[in-house]
């Protein structure tokens, strides 16, 4: 578990696991003033984190990171593609081959070749077409809305649309939306994201690869803290 302060561009600590008790113990190590100064906590959708924050930082607004929300939706879309592809006749399987990144990539970022591939997918699989269009509509919700109440109403319309279309592959995502609705909607208060932490995670993966893995957590933790230490002024 990596704890960071995005507004300061630095890592605060690296914890050995993702358990609630571990995070609560770390928060207990802060002074009362430090805990009270924390107003927003951006988390991925892992319940132990939210439980720890609610217990130790009751004043803080918990925000479900938008990138993890989209990752969850893209996972459902990928599962749908796999199921459809596995059941499809040979000629359709051939058309759907290599379609994963075309479906999960932002449509506006597709190149000409990818756009042509998407048109083929739409043609051979109406169900995937519906899933992808819903995914893009949901992404636009995050990209364009700036008011929490507007987002709440629009999200409800999106849910009703997904339910009416009876897309089986999206049912797990609908459950996620209901379970995390408050934290997801909190994003629209100030459009807080965890982009800094995502960049940190990518860099940590590189550190692990360079070191061929770590057998000692403390060495790994110190390496990360040194790597992300602020430059002296």
Q: pLDDT tens digits, the chain, 233 residues: what are they?
A: 888 888 777 888 889 999 999 999 999 999 999 999 999 999 989 999 999 999 999 999 999 999 899 999 999 999 989 989 998 999 999 999 989 999 999 999 999 999 999 999 999 999 899 999 999 999 999 999 999 999 999 999 999 999 998 888 889 999 999 999 999 999 999 888 777 766 776 777 776 666 665 667 776 777 677 766 665 54
pLDDT confidence of residue 195: 72
pLDDT confidence of residue 8: 79
Beta 40-43 vs 10-14: how paired, if at all? Answer: unpaired
**Cβ atoms 181, 155 nearer than 8 A:** yes
pLDDT confidence of residue 222: 75
pLDDT confidence of residue 212: 60
What letter does residue 232 receive in the DSSP assignment? P
**Cβ atoms 80, 127 nearer than 8 A:** yes
Which of 136, 203, 126 has its CA nearest to residue 166? 126
- What is the value of pTM for the model shown? 0.82
> 60: helix, coil or strand?
coil
Classify residue 205 as exposed, middle or buried by CB count within 10 Å of its CB (0-12, 13-18, 19+): exposed
């Amino acid at each position: 578990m990596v704890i960071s302060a995005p507004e300061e561009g630095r890592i605060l600590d690296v914890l050995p696991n993702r358990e609630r008790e571990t995070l609560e113990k770390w928060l207990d190590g802060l002074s009362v003033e430090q805990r009270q100064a924390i107003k927003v906590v951006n988390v991925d959708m892992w319940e132990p984190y939210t439980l720890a924050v609610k217990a130790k930082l009751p004043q803080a607004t918990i925000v479900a990171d938008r990138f993890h929300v989209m990752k969850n939706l893209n996972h459902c879309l990928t599962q749908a593609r796999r199921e459809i592809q596995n059941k499809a006749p040979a000629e359709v399987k051939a058309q759907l081959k290599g379609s994963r990144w075309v479906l999960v990539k932002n449509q506006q970022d597709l190149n000409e070749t990818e756009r042509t591939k998407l048109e083929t997918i739409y043609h051979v699989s109406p169900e995937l077409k519906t899933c992808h269009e819903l995914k893009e509509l949901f992404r636009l919700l995050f990209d364009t809305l700036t008011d929490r109440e507007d987002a709440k109403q629009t999200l409800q319309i999106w849910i009703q649309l997904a339910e009416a279309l009876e897309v089986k592959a999206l049912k797990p995502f609908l459950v996620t939306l209901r379970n995390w609705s408050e934290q997801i909607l909190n994003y629209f208060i100030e459009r807080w994201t965890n982009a800094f932490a995502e960049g940190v995670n990518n860099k940590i993966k590189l550190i692990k690869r360079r070191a061929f893995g770590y057998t000692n957590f403390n060495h790994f933790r110190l390496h990360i803290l040194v790597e992300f230490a602020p430059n002296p002024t």
